[in-house]
Amino acid sequence: TQYVYRFGGGVSDGGKGDRNLLGGKGANLAEMASIGLPVPPGFTISTEFCDVYYQEGRAFPQGLRDEVATGIAHIEGITGKKFGDAADPLLVSVRSGARASMPGMMDTVLNLGLNDQTVQGLAETSGDARFAWDSYRRFIQMYADVVLELDHAAFEDALEIAKEDNGYYLDTDLTADDLQKLVAEYKTLVEQQWNKPFPQDVHDQLWGAVGAVFGSWQSERAKVYRRLNDIPAAWGTAVNIQAMVFGNMGETSATGVAFTRDPAKGDRAYYGEFLINAQGEDVVAGIRTPQYLTVAAREAAGAKPASMEEAMPEVYGELAKVFDLLETHYRDMQDIEFTVQQGKLWMLQTRSGKRTAKAALKIAVDMAEEGLITREEAVARVDPQALDQLLHPTLDPSAKRDVLTKGLPASPGAASGAAVFDSDTAEKRAAAGESVILIRTETSPEDIHGMHAAKGILTARGGMTSHAAVVARGMGRPCVSGAGTISIDAKAGVMRVAGREIHAGDIVTIDGSTGEVMAGAVPTVQPELSGDFGTLMAWADGVRRLKVRANAETPLDARVARDFGAEGIGLCRTEHMFFDAERITNVRQMILAEDEAGRRVALEKLLPEQRSDFVELFEVMAGLPVTIRLLDPPLHEFLPHEEAEFAEVASAAGVDIDVLKRRAAELHEFNPMLGHRGCRLGVTYPEIYEMQARAIFEAAIEVAVKSGAAPIPEVMIPLVGTRRELELMKQVVDKAAQAVFADKGREIEYLVGTMIELPRACLMAGEIAEVGEFFSFGTNDLTQTTLGVSRDDAARFLTTYVERGIYAKDPFVSLDVEGVGQLIELAAERGRAARAGIKLGICGEHGGDPASIAFCEKVGLDYVSASPYRVPIARLAAAQAAL
Ligand code: PEP
Ligand code: MG
């Protein structure tokens, strides 16, 4: 097998199609080289070797050594420099590059190839001894950290002391002599901690670095990141070895990162940051505050230091051309790293840029309108789950704000929570159900679990492309970065800002869209959906086949659902209509009644309430189907528990409280989910379903009379397992309908169907479809009953089950397509065979999950029904499933 692939100097062994083999970075370096962009020459060791590396016990076979020698020769041939040559040494960078980008997760070593001899050569050829010693100093520091895994604080301290001793403020104040001394100190530190001298053989250096990069694939932080982002461990990383170019060779040199469009808002404007006389890690690490790329961005921010457009107009012009070329070539927004070495531009990386949901939407719509991509591609490009970010609240603009300071608006959205100053605490307090804001001087990959647990992230240092900003955007967490006026004493658990102190546990609010940091909680408001949202949704609607309905019972939820584009109600859980304090007493009276007469008394009180609810629902959903499920209360959710609750029911029913308590004790169940619920309640107490059916038909006729258009109610019977159950319940509903029609002198159309939420119902779907006019898959219960896993008790072991690969995902969130999916497929087939064209839908939580929706499309269901906020997600996911 070939493991080494070259690029640069007119050679490209790979290209952008080789992402799996070369990783994203390697594939794109090869691609950029092949389209003639200035890429420093180099080569990639493929991801296939990552596997071999671990199989071989972290060793390098001779074959690979030979191939790497050829790769080095390739770079030497183009640069005219020799690796390890004392007179004119070749220096290389060694970087990771996996198939999916994992920002900041894995290791990088720069300036490799420096030793006590080559540093002299570098000083000679560059004519800049300070630069040479600074590079050597950086190299030892990075190598000690990344490859030798020594304590990096010791090196930072040595650097700080060197500055203090000389009364310097900036790293750049250090002279060549100072740096030479620092190098000697660093070498001593290495020897003390590692018990061996710093490696002087450049080949030893190289193999050490390559091993470290492959090794970083199995680091703890990389594992956490993969788990959070569903990246398989089997993919492995590639290693890129490339000639160094230097952004730190004086005032005509620079380094920067850029996006071809604004990654936060999506505007069509170059967007980025750069630093003159610096190396790449200076920008990302957030140690110096970077300058803007364009005049427009600088002015918009009211910043002083010259933008790149002003400071280096020629190179900037060249860079802008490269941006356009890359966008046209890749047909997507790109995230770019570049370096300017003594006035010459070099491209170090390009990749599809991470972006907020808002930006994703705008960029997709704009690119389709620019003709760069098709509308279908635009629909395919927006992650349905990410729409969540857009649909959620922002700070109420009219609310009072106690603003402490302002940082950079690094990731949009607003959040309030208790201040915490370290990631472990953030994780702990969040696990205990608290909302927390993680506050750090700067974040590093070690903070990833804390960032994930937090509702928002605030940092004192770092720009818009700092670790905190990039990771928060990817996670969809609000983030304010670089709030420079705050100072944090994490040990003491206090943050000082504007002469005030915020202690751990105090509530703070951040607004990641404006950069504001506030004391206390600030109320939020619902988002306004932009024109782009509507445009993309309309395109999605043009593509999808599946209808999208909502699970809703209150008029408010139904209204939200309609505004979000719901095409009807797929599940109205009637028991939820009785959850509020005033009504639940009547429901309890009904449940606790001793006999039919007692129940009828309670039902008489429930009927008008129920009817008026349905009237409102039919009005909100005018002209659209509304599926109403008859009562399905697992009794434990409704029985009174507190003394006061019993007293209230007792007085409403006019019975003795002790009688009620005895009755409640009789109704106690060991397995309420498998107990007296669903249609079993209707079978034993048909008067309940009779009342509900009356309420439905009376309401439907009332609305028909009022508005002239009759709604078509779909009456749904829950938890059916046999044909006979449905038959009996259908008789009750039909009888109520006939009575109401006779009474009102008017008939309307309606359907009677069933939930399919038991394995037996799936198996017997043929028989059941002879009676039922539609099926709605209740995948919450169907998952519970098929897996034999309690919906209410699964949390205790589910995380372990997912971690250990027993379940790929939480089966209550994303449908177990392999198992439960088979039952659905079979039920759909048998149902259709018995009743041609039977209407099929899904109304479990899975109806709003994109992967489950893809499955529903595959088996040809007619609609999915999701909670109101997930309706747009479902519309987009349904469109993507149809593409
Ligand atoms: C279901 O079981 O999937 C369902 C929608 O019903 P509920 O969640 O109310 O049991
Ligand atoms: Mg159910």
Which ligand is located closest to the Cα atom of residue 866?
Answer: 1
Regions of the chain short of the pLDDT cut 50: none
Nearest atom, ligand 1, residue 843 CA: 5
Our answer to whether residue 467 is catalytic in this structure is yes
State in Å: Cα 780 to ligand 2 middle.
6
**pLDDT the model gives residue 169:** 81
Of the residues 74, 449, 467, 846, only one is catalytic, namely: 467
**677 CA distance to ligand 2 centroid (A)?**
10
pLDDT at 584: 80
The minimum-distance atom of ligand 1 relative to the CA of 718 is 6
pLDDT tens for residues 60-104? 999 999 999 999 999 999 999 999 999 999 999 999 999 987 877
Q: How many CB atoms are located within 10 Å of the residue 665 CB? A: 9
Atom of ligand 1 nearest to the CA of 780: 3
Using the atom order of ligand 1, give the atom closest to the CA of residue 777.
Answer: 3
Q: Residue 849: is it exposed, middle or buried by C-beta count within 10 angstroms (0-12/13-18/19+)?
A: buried
CA of 729 to the centre of ligand 1 (A): 19
The second-level CATH assignment, the architecture, of 4-243 is 2-Layer Sandwich (3.30)
**Confidence at residue 580, expressed as pLDDT on a 0 to 100 scale:** 64
Residues 53/254, Cβ–Cβ less than 8 Å: no
- Which residue lies with its CA nearest to atom 10 of ligand 1? 781
Query: What distance in angstroms lies between residue 777's CA and the mean position of ligand 1's atoms?
Result: 9
Per-residue pLDDT at 348: 95
Contacts of 45 (CB under 8 A, 6+ apart): 3, 4, 64, 68, 210, 238, 239, 240, 241
Ligand 2 centroid to residue 681 C-alpha, Å: 14
What are the tokens at 324? Answer: 């356009």
The two domains 4-243 and 402-525 share their CATH topology (first three levels equal) = no
Burial class (CB in 10 A: 0-12, 13-18, 19+), 434: middle
Provide the CA 164 distance to its chain's centre, in angstroms: 44
Phi/psi for 620 (5° steps) reads -60, -40
Q: Which two tokens mark 771?
A: 């009676």
Number of C-alpha atoms within 13 angstroms, CB side, residue 48? 9
Q: 772-817 pLDDT, tens per residue?
A: 999 999 999 999 999 999 887 786 788 788 878 899 888 988 999 9
Name residues contacting ligand 1 (CB within 6 A): 571, 573, 632, 757, 778-781, 843-844
The CATH classification number of 254-355 equals 3.30.470.20
Q: Which residue minimizes the CA distance to atom 1 of ligand 1?
A: 778
pLDDT of residue 465: 63
CATH fold for domain 544-882: TIM Barrel (3.20.20)
Give the pLDDT of residue 764.
98
Known catalytic residue at 576: no
Residue 152: predicted pLDDT: 86
Going from N- to C-terminal start, the domains of the chain cover 4-243, 254-355, 402-525, 544-882
Atom of ligand 1 nearest to the CA of 719: 2
Calculate ∠ Cα 19-22-27, nearest 5°: 60
Cβ(776)–Cβ(756) below 8 Å = yes
CA of 780 to the centre of ligand 1 (A): 5
Which of the listed residues 680, 757, 846 should we mutate to test ligand 1's pocket, taking the one with most ligand atoms within 8 A of CB? 757
In one letter, which amino acid is 141? Q
Q: Which ligand is nearest to the CA of 633?
A: 1
Q: How far is the CA of 574 from the centre of ligand 2 (A)?
A: 12
Neighbours of 226 (CB within 10 A): 18
Domain spanning 402-525: CATH 2.40.440.10: no
pLDDT for the residue numbered 63: 94
Query: Helices 19-34 & 47-55, crossing angle to 10 degrees?
Result: 140
Identify the residue whose C-alpha is closest to ligand 1 atom 4: 778
- ipTM for the complex? 0.99
The Cβ of residue 863 has, within 10 Å, a number of other Cβ atoms equal to: 25
- pLDDT given at position 140: 97
Ligand 2 being an ion, which residues bring their Cβ within 5 A of it?
A: 757, 778, 781
Q: Residue-wise over 548-583: b if at least 16 C-beta within 10 A, else e?
A: bbbbbbbeebbbbbbebbbbbbbbbbbbbbbeeeeb
Catalytic residue among 572, 762, 843, 856: 843
Q: How far apart are CA 368 and CA 550, in angstroms?
A: 29
Which ligand ends up closest to the CA of 551? Answer: 1
Side-by-side strand order, sheet with 92-98: 11-12, 4-8, 42-45, 237-243, 92-98, 108-112
Q: Which atom of ligand 1 is nearest to the CA of 846?
A: 3
CB 360 within 8 A of CB 381: yes
Ligand nearest to C-alpha 845: 1
Strand partners of residue 572 = 628
Q: Are 228 and 322 in contact (CB under 8 A)?
A: no
Output the pLDDT for position 371. 96
